[in-house]
Structure 1
Amino acid sequence: MRGFSMSENNSNNSPKRQGGGRNNRRRNNSKTRKHGGPPRKDMLDRYEEFNNMAYQKAIDRFSQDPLPMAFPADVDEKYVELSWVSNPIPLTSEQEVAKFVVRRGEFGFLPDERVGEIAELVDGAEMTLDQALSLRSALLQEKTVYGHHRLKDKARELKRLYDEGVGIIDLTQRYDFPPMNIFRAILAARGWSKSRIKESLKNAEKKLNERDLAQFKRAEEEDRVANVDQTETHLRAELFEDILCDWFEENGVRFRRQGEMVKEQNLAHGRPLKTPDLLILDDVRINGQPVAWIDAKHYYGGDVGFQRKKTTKQMLRYVEEWGQGAIVFRHGYCENLHIPGTILLDSSPLDLSRLSPTEDE
């Protein structure tokens, strides 16, 4: 098989062209823009050649010379057929939920009253509360990214109001930016460098004055998008990955884990290059589809432009090296979502009892 690269595809079919650009940012900011991407059928037609190449490359990876990255030289693959039943969420349901999970000036962990309100609203929408809260996180991330340049333009104005005594949370309500991003913008408007801001927020008790420290703590409490401490999120993601690994081990599948490949590539290249959560070492077919790698996503796979673009970019690196793989979404995914060269799965077959039920907020 010829080398697998994007140059073999028409440039209009490249996953790198999916989303992005200033024109798309303007569309994402439009109040009248309908939630969700192009119809999945259209995307399958558009990327048919690419998806077929990814499929074949996954099958051929064992006979490839030289072997793909991170593959053991003495691998003796066995054929493993697995069944995996997923239940994707209709786009119409996601569109309904997307209308009410995000409010102006609301970026923090939600109070019980608001969570209860969302729970009532999703009751008849074919989505769970966890899925709705995870979708909210993705929408807030998108809102934050596409509003970044507007925030930078407002930095001096925000600093002036802050210096006049207006608090960070009041500024959040007024301008609809995440509290921590407002705080960082104010520090930058003072002339602080990025490294000084980063160091000051890591050692806030020692580096910030009394008012700044109080406002920083308040901003952290009210911001789940741009807050400094993401420890709990990472720990839950690692536990979900462990559960996924246990499932494949129980089904007799051999694989390499990300941590092992990171160490190996750091030694060989000075940095990690391509490290999926699981690199599959057997000829695994899930629902008849070859799967060369698995990536675990501890969230709901919504049809959200920014998240889709970011995921496509990451998965493309794996597809180019090993061929078709799969993403397993902790909270399921939207049936309209398409990631080129990648099959999508939810967590239905997994025993998630080690994870708390409502953890995203």
Structure 2
Amino acid sequence: MEEKVYREILRELDRHRGYGVHTGVEEVAGKFEQPYDAVRAIRSQFLQRKSIKNHYRVKDRARKHLERWKTGVSIGDLALELDFPPVLLANFLLMEMRNSKKRTKEMLKNLKLVKDERLRKELEDVTTRDELYTPISHNKQAAEGDRREDRLAVWLDGQKLEYFTENDLRQGTVEGKTPDFLLLQPLVWHGDEYHWVESKASFGDDYIHRKNHRGQVSQYVELYGHGMLVYWYGYLTNLQRKNYVIVDRRELGLE
């Protein structure tokens, strides 16, 4: 995806308030003729970064937000007004109610511990709707990553290649960073050879890619040579890369 198109998509998505990862996605995907799952991934990553940016601004005013809640404004409405994830806001409010960090975590996991009926109902509402910061959403994200790796493993099997998985390497004596797949013989793709494959169930934007490059990929290159980085939901065409190739699943014939 071209940088200009990506920036225009972000501007359109920002018009759709709230922290639903699907909110506005169908409309924006249709307008820019982009795959739904790519725009959904872009929105999800955009929302996560926005929440990090606004974290302390909202936390530092938790007492004020609690007072507004006491006047009858719901947690969901407050979150929408503040443009902040409702579960994170609920976390701040519970701690402002003099619950410990541990107790707050327990209450959000088990709402039966919440005695106040209004509070319990509102927490049920926000934990159901928040698609980024609940245990259920975290489990879904982890499961999605595992499914993508499994599909990539099937693709590598179809290429008649043998490999060590990341788990195989961790159980052995390999030191340093380990890719998802370390190939025992090179993958030949478009005439070039690659010795490792890393799968990312995300869209490769500048922020995500810098993080992946510095934290993992550059070390894979140093340890194992040329490799392949797979962004399942697409990537920006101007991403920097050296001694590895960037592809998305469609380039590998995967849907």
**Shorter-chain TM-score tier:** 0.7 to 0.9
Q: TM-score, normalised by structure 2?
A: 0.85
C-alpha distance after superposition, 1:26-48 (max 9, x if no partner): xxxxxxxxxxxxxxxxxxxxxxx
Q: CA 1:199–1:322 in structure 2 vs 1: closer, same or farther (change >3 Å)?
A: farther
Match in the other structure for 1:311: 212
Equivalent of 2:150 in 238, 242, 248: 242
Q: TM-score, normalised by structure 1?
A: 0.62
- 1:1-361 equivalences under 5 Å are 89-103=1-15, 105-110=17-22, 114-123=24-33, 127-207=34-114, 209-230=116-137, 231-262=139-170, 264=171, 274-303=177-206, 305=207, 307-315=208-216, 316-339=218-241, 342-348=244-250, 349-352=252-255
Local SS of the residue matching 1:229: helix
Aligned Cα RMSD in Å? Answer: 2.6
Q: CA 1:196–1:313 in structure 2 vs 1: closer, same or farther (change >3 Å)?
A: farther
Single out whichever of 291-300 and 142-151 deviates more from structure 2: 291-300
Local SS of the residue matching 1:344: strand
AA matched with 2:31: L
Q: CA 1:281–1:103 in structure 2 vs 1: closer, same or farther (change >3 Å)?
A: same
CA separation in 2, counterparts of 1:249 and 1:211? 54
Local SS of the residue matching 2:238: coil
Local SS of the residue matching 1:92: helix
TM-aligned CA deviation for residue 240 of structure 1: 1.6
Q: CA 1:238–1:159 in structure 2 vs 1: closer, same or farther (change >3 Å)?
A: same
C-alpha distance after superposition, 1:200-249 (max 9, x if no partner): 22222335642232122221233222222123333232222111111111
TM-aligned CA deviation for residue 285 of structure 1: 4.3
CA separation in 2, counterparts of 1:256 and 1:238? 16
CA separation in 2, counterparts of 1:131 and 1:255? 29
Return 5+ residue gaps in structure 2 as ranges: none
CA contact (8 A) 1:243 1:350 kept: no
Q: CA 1:215–1:323 in structure 2 vs 1: closer, same or farther (change >3 Å)?
A: farther
CA contact (8 A) 1:257 1:278 kept: yes
TM-aligned CA deviation for residue 155 of structure 1: 1.7
TM-aligned CA deviation for residue 178 of structure 1: 1.0
C-alpha distance after superposition, 1:104-126 (max 9, x if no partner): 64111446xx4442243223xxx
Return the structure number with greater helix share.
2
CA separation in 1, counterparts of 2:210 and 2:115? 37
Match in the other structure for 1:70: none
CA contact (8 A) 1:220 1:227 kept: yes
AA matched with 1:140: L
CA separation in 1, counterparts of 2:86 and 2:40? 19
CA contact (8 A) 1:308 1:339 kept: no
Q: CA 1:131–1:198 in structure 2 vs 1: closer, same or farther (change >3 Å)?
A: same
Match in the other structure for 1:31: none
Local SS of the residue matching 1:118: helix
CA separation in 1, counterparts of 2:98 and 2:176? 35
C-alpha distance after superposition, 1:183-212 (max 9, x if no partner): 111122233333322222222233564223
Local SS of the residue matching 2:126: helix
Match in the other structure for 1:65: none
- Percent of aligned pairs sharing the same letter: 26
What is the aligned length? 252
Return 5+ residue gaps in structure 1 as ranges: 1-88, 353-361
Single out whichever of 212-221 and 316-325 deviates more from structure 2: 316-325
Local SS of the residue matching 1:343: strand
Local SS of the residue matching 2:211: helix
Q: CA 1:120–1:213 in structure 2 vs 1: closer, same or farther (change >3 Å)?
A: same
AA matched with 1:308: H
